[in-house]
Chains A and B, each alone.
Chain A
Amino acid sequence: MSTRTVAVGSASGLHARPAKIFVEAAAKAPVKVTIQVAGKKPVPAKSMLSVLALGAKQGTEVTLAADGDGAEQALNDLAALLARDLDADDA
Chain B
Amino acid sequence: MPESLSGIGVSAGVAAGPLLRIAAAPALPAPVPVTDAGAEVERAYAALAEVVADLERRADRASEATVAEVLRAEAMMAGDEELREAVRENVEEGSDAPHAIDAAFGTFREMFAEAGGYLAERVADLDDLRDRAVAVLLGLPMPGVPQPGHPFVLAARDLAPADTADLDPAQVLALVTEVGGPTSHTAILARALGLPAVVACRGVLGIPEGSLVQVDGASGQVEVGTEFSVRRAENRVMTEISGPGRTSDGHAVKLLANVGSAKNVPAADQAHAEGIGLFRTELLFLDRTSEPSRDEQITAYREVFRAMAGRRVVIRTLDAGADKPLPFLHQEGEPNPALGVRGLRVARQRPQVLTTQLAAIAAAAGDTGADVWVMAPMVSTLAEATEFAAAVHEAGLPRAGVMIEVPAAALRAADLLRVVDFLSIGTNDLSQYTFAADRMCGDLAELLDYWQPALLQLVGICGEAGRAAGKPIGVCGEAAADAALAPVLAGLGVSSLSMSPRALSGVRASLARYSYAECRRLAELAVAAPDAATARKVVS
Q: Which residues of A contact B (CB under 8 A)?
A: 11-13, 15-20, 23-24, 43-44, 46-50, 52-53, 55, 87-91
Contact = CB atoms under 8 A, between A and B. Distances in A.
B290 A20 contact: no
Most buried by B among A15, A49, A87, A88: A49
29 contacts: A11-B290, A13-B118, A15-B118, A15-B290, A17-B290, A18-B290, A19-B73, A20-B73, A23-B76, A24-B76, A44-B82, A47-B80, A47-B81, A47-B82, A48-B76, A48-B77, A48-B80, A49-B77, A49-B108, A50-B80, A52-B77, A52-B112, A52-B122, A53-B108, A53-B119, A55-B116, A87-B293, A88-B293, A91-B296
A15 B70 CA distance: 12
Contacts, number: 70
B65 interface: yes
A48 B73 contact: yes
B166 interface: no
A91 B295 CA distance: 10
Nearest to B288: A16
A44 to B, nearest CB: 6
A8 B113 CA distance: 21
Given A20-B73, A49-B77, A52-B112, A12 B289 contact: yes
Contacts of A47: 80-83
Interface string B438-459: 0000000000000000000000
Contacts of B117: 55
B83 to A, nearest CB: 6
Contact-size category for B: 20 to 34
A15 B82 CA distance: 18
Given A12-B118, A47-B80, A52-B122, 12 more contacts: A11-B290, A15-B119, A15-B289, A16-B289, A44-B82, A49-B108, A53-B108, A53-B112, A55-B115, A55-B119, A90-B293, A90-B295
A87 B289 CA distance: 10
Contacts of A50: 80, 82
Given A16-B289, A53-B112, A87-B291, A46 B81 contact: yes
Contact of B69 (A17, A23, A44): A17
Contacts of B295: 90
B412 interface: no
B82 A49 contact: yes
A90 B296 contact: yes
A15 B289 CA distance: 8
